[in-house]
Structure 1
């Protein structure tokens, strides 16, 4: 049963975030602090996970995927409750009746600086609870329910274009100059966030433009998935404005942009510096891998990225650990934090890239 329950780990990480919003004040940093502490230190202490169990009840894992939308809605709603003047959905009253804690009074004492860890925590959790399951679901291009759920999950981070570009662009061009998500050697993560975001959206638009042209459908119409995705995110933004005013809209927007930035940091660490000839088949060594236990549990095996790119249609629970694949310095979140310090990241990755090129590349990379 542990092999099923472990993938509910990222759902559990939303609980400190929701609790912190309810308690108010300095407790609003509880969500961010919990994610950083549990995942980063968990990876350091819990070691690697090379297990490859055979799942006899995959519907349990599917339920965890689809339930992500519920957790996203809970986070979205409680964030807006925090910013609203009214007691949205009588949440404060409900908490008082259930526990005796005056959440409304605590909310009234919140200071603006308390919202900094809320936005950071929300951005991180929206990427984990929204983008990661959406990544799995939007690979199922022939499953309408999966695609719709995945696109709504992405709408919370204003990134429904990912459902187009990632499947039809990134997986085709990974490791080449045509792939916006692959960061070349020497690019820092802050440059990559902007360049990959811009390039990914342009690529998604062109992919959708070509699809509609093949089907002889009008570009500016309901048939355009890129435009429909923007409308989905706009709907959430309008809902935030209606329920919690401009402050609620601002918090949602900042959190959504941080969630999108988090995705691009993940793209950065997954493919930094790796090169592939355009006509070369995608192999496991064309992605950085990680076998850290907690990162794997908290990301539906996204850490087994080498196998994912080699066999992109496999469901997450069939991905193999590939311990001999190129490995990151640590787990995903730890590597993301390292990437935020470019000099340290380059120092750690230069010998790894040298090793990668000596084993897989045509020429050894030169020293910096």
Structure 2
């Protein structure tokens, strides 16, 4: 049974390999691959219930190596995506695959329609988010481990977001659920506005954090020591690699995939802390994050789902996070909630009762006052007309 608890976190590798197969198969297989991945998450989370297991792992190094494996896997996924959109056969890759499998991937690519290429962008961008950003998030929290930090930042570079390793760790975790946190969406904001606002403010916050760090070391902000600049150069190197593999069309395809992957991160930020309030001078508690324990999301996202514990103790490795079933819960698993967040009227219809419940059952006395102000400014009549009642927790 313990072996299964190690193996379950390798499920995301299988999803990545299936995505590669779909991208190389071309044509309708790309769209089938996209909808298969969406179905695994949305239907799987709906049918498979919650995972609240908390096993003790005696060989955590296996799980760390598993995280490191995400980098070559994502590189191959993105290579396959860029190749699928180009008109050349870089290094004879297509001819080699055709010879090895008997399936003519070159012919399949020629007959891939624009609509299926859109599916390819969505699929590859989804993999950048799942395999790149989520794994990069876990690894860049391990500030004591240089190898994990380097691998994590390269994973984040695929979504043009290496600044996440700075702002998230040293900014977001300090100011989460406050008005000072770019990633926390206030009540009433829609997800599309949040993607833009959080991206711009997050980059500015990362620059300021790095500027302060360099000043303490007596170094200039505009120097090779600046991790923000180095990070953007890493992403630029990937853009150049995409150009080398697939020409202008391959480069533009990669940029579209990366921007979609970055957007997914901001959608996740949006739904993890939407409407939460907190005095930045008070400690972060499990109640300051929306949590979920859906089984498929948990297994394939390295327990990112257990977000309440992660924010209460950000240094805890993913395999040791606790489920906190008593924490405020998301609408469903991650991909399901992402889809709902992208439909603002549906999102507000489902989340407004949850926000009001948070005010009543989770907010402290001070937070009730902050919630009342947030409700009045939300622009949502159901919130603006409500004054939080006496909380059940202090």
TM bucket normalised to smaller: over 0.9
Q: What aligned pairs does 1:209-228 form with structure 2 within 5 A after superposition? A: 209-228=211-230
Q: What aligned pairs does 1:229-308 form with structure 2 within 5 A after superposition? A: 229-308=231-310
Counterparts of 1:292 and 1:38, CA distance in 2: 12
Structure 1: which 5+ runs fail to align?
Answer: none
Counterparts of 2:32 and 2:11, CA distance in 1: 17
2:50 is equivalent to residue 39 of structure 1? no
Task: Give the alignment partner of residue 12 of structure 2, picking from 10, 13, 16.
Answer: 10
Structure 2: which 5+ runs fail to align?
Answer: 376-381, 384-394
CA contact (8 A) 2:294 2:332 kept: yes
Counterparts of 1:256 and 1:274, CA distance in 2: 29
2:29 is equivalent to residue 27 of structure 1? yes
RMSD: 1.1
Counterparts of 1:202 and 1:15, CA distance in 2: 36
- The residue number in structure 2 matching 1:197 is 199
CA contact (8 A) 1:170 1:181 kept: yes
Task: Give the alignment partner of residue 61 of structure 1, picking from 56, 60, 63.
Answer: 63
Counterparts of 2:206 and 2:108, CA distance in 1: 44
Q: What aligned pairs does 1:16-165 form with structure 2 within 5 A after superposition? A: 16-165=18-167
Bigger Cα displacement from structure 2, 202-211 vs 54-63: 54-63
Counterparts of 1:121 and 1:323, CA distance in 2: 31
CA contact (8 A) 2:271 2:338 kept: yes
- The residue number in structure 1 matching 2:391 is none
Counterparts of 1:84 and 1:123, CA distance in 2: 17
Bigger Cα displacement from structure 2, 64-73 vs 78-87: 78-87
Counterparts of 2:32 and 2:93, CA distance in 1: 19
CA contact (8 A) 1:13 1:31 kept: no
Counterparts of 1:80 and 1:337, CA distance in 2: 25
Counterparts of 2:85 and 2:351, CA distance in 1: 42
- The residue number in structure 2 matching 1:315 is 317
TM-score (norm 2): 0.91
CA contact (8 A) 1:180 1:200 kept: yes
Bigger Cα displacement from structure 2, 209-218 vs 91-100: 91-100
CA contact (8 A) 1:13 1:34 kept: no
- The residue number in structure 2 matching 1:326 is 328
Counterparts of 1:343 and 1:97, CA distance in 2: 50
Q: Secondary structure at the match of 1:13?
A: helix
Q: Secondary structure at the match of 1:247?
A: helix
Counterparts of 2:345 and 2:98, CA distance in 1: 49
Q: Once the 2 structures are TM-superposed, how far is the Cα of residue 109 of structure 1 from its aligned partner?
A: 1.6
CA contact (8 A) 1:170 1:179 kept: yes
Q: Secondary structure at the match of 2:283?
A: coil
Counterparts of 2:292 and 2:85, CA distance in 1: 38
Q: Once the 2 structures are TM-superposed, how far is the Cα of residue 43 of structure 1 from its aligned partner?
A: 0.2
Counterparts of 2:222 and 2:48, CA distance in 1: 51
Q: Secondary structure at the match of 2:35?
A: helix
Counterparts of 1:332 and 1:21, CA distance in 2: 23
Q: 4+ residue runs of structure 1 moved beyond 6 angstroms? A: none
Q: Once the 2 structures are TM-superposed, how far is the Cα of residue 95 of structure 1 from its aligned partner?
A: 2.1
- The residue number in structure 1 matching 2:171 is 169
Counterparts of 1:37 and 1:360, CA distance in 2: 33
CA contact (8 A) 1:3 1:53 kept: yes
Task: Give the alignment partner of residue 360 of structure 2, picking from 348, 354, 358.
Answer: 358
Q: Once the 2 structures are TM-superposed, how far is the Cα of residue 219 of structure 1 from its aligned partner?
A: 1.2
Q: Secondary structure at the match of 2:103?
A: coil
Q: Once the 2 structures are TM-superposed, how far is the Cα of residue 152 of structure 1 from its aligned partner?
A: 0.3
- The residue number in structure 1 matching 2:388 is none
